[in-house]
Amino acid sequence: MLTFDQKLSRIIKILLIITLSLLSLYVFSQFTGFITSVRDAFRAVLIPFLIAFFINFLIYPLVIYAEEKGIRPRWIIVAILYIIIFSIIGVILWIVTPLVIDQVKDLVLNKIPSIYESFRQRIEELHLEDHPALLNIYNQIQEGIQKYLTNAIVSAGTQVSRITSFIFTIVLCPIILFYMLKDHSEIGEGIYNVVPKKFQIHYIEITKRINETLGLYIRGQIILMFGIAVVAILGYTVIGLDYAILFGIIVGLTNIIPYIGATIAAIVPVTYSLLTGNTPWYYILLMNFVFQFIEGNILQPVIMSKQLDIHPLIILAAILGFGSLLGVMGVIFAVPLTGIIKVIFQYYNELRAKNELEVGSEV
pLDDT at 87: 92
pLDDT digits (tens, 9 = 90+) for 71-126: 888 889 899 999 998 899 889 889 888 888 888 888 777 777 777 777 777 777 76
For every residue of 62-121, DSSP letters joined together read HHHHHHHTT---HHHHHHHHHHHHHHHHHHHHHHHHHHHHHHHHHIIIIIHHHHHHHHHH
Contact call for residues 325 and 43 (beta carbons, < 8 A):
yes
Euclidean distance between the first and final Cα of the chain, in Å? 43
pLDDT at 225: 86
Torsion region of 307: left, alpha or beta (phi above 0 gives left; psi -120 to 50 gives alpha): beta
Q: What is the CB-side half-sphere exposure of residue 333 using CA atoms within 13 A?
A: 21
pLDDT at 100: 83
pLDDT at 6: 62
Q: How far apart (Å, rounded) are the C-alpha atoms in residues 265 and 288?
A: 8
pLDDT at 301: 67
pTM beyond 0.95: no
Q: How far apart (Å, rounded) are the C-alpha atoms in residues 201 and 361?
A: 23
| Nearest by Cα to 332 from 319, 321, 343, 345 | 319
Amino acid identity of residue 151, one-letter, is N
Q: Which residues of the chain have pLDDT under 50?
A: 306
- Angle (nearest 5°) at CA 301 between 215 and 311: 70
Dihedral, CA atoms, 60, 63, 67, 73, nearest 10 degrees?
Answer: -120
Torsion region of 243: left, alpha or beta (phi above 0 gives left; psi -120 to 50 gives alpha): left
